[in-house]
Amino acid sequence: MDNSSLSIENWDKLLKHPRLGEILVQHKKVTIHQLGEALTEQEQVKIPLGQILLQNKYITKDELLELLELQVGISKMLNESFDELRNSGSKDQVNKLIEALELKADPRPDLK
Provide the residue ranges of all domains of the chain, joining segments of one domain with +.
Answer: 3-104
Residue 54 in 3-state DSSP?
helix
Q: Say what the pLDDT of residue 65 is.
A: 86
Q: Say what the pLDDT of residue 56 is.
A: 94
Q: For residue 21, which of 62, 70, 78 has the smallest C-alpha distance?
A: 70
d(CA 101, CA 96): 9
Residues 6+ apart with CB under 8 A from 28: none
Q: For residue 74, which of 27, 40, 4, 106 has the smallest C-alpha distance?
A: 27
d(CA 71, CA 69): 5
Contact 52, 45 (CB under 8 A): yes
Per-residue pLDDT of the chain (112 residues; tens, 9 = 90+): 444 445 555 555 555 667 788 888 888 989 999 999 999 999 999 999 999 999 999 999 999 888 887 777 666 666 666 667 667 766 676 666 666 665 554 444 443 3
Q: Say what the pLDDT of residue 26 is.
A: 85
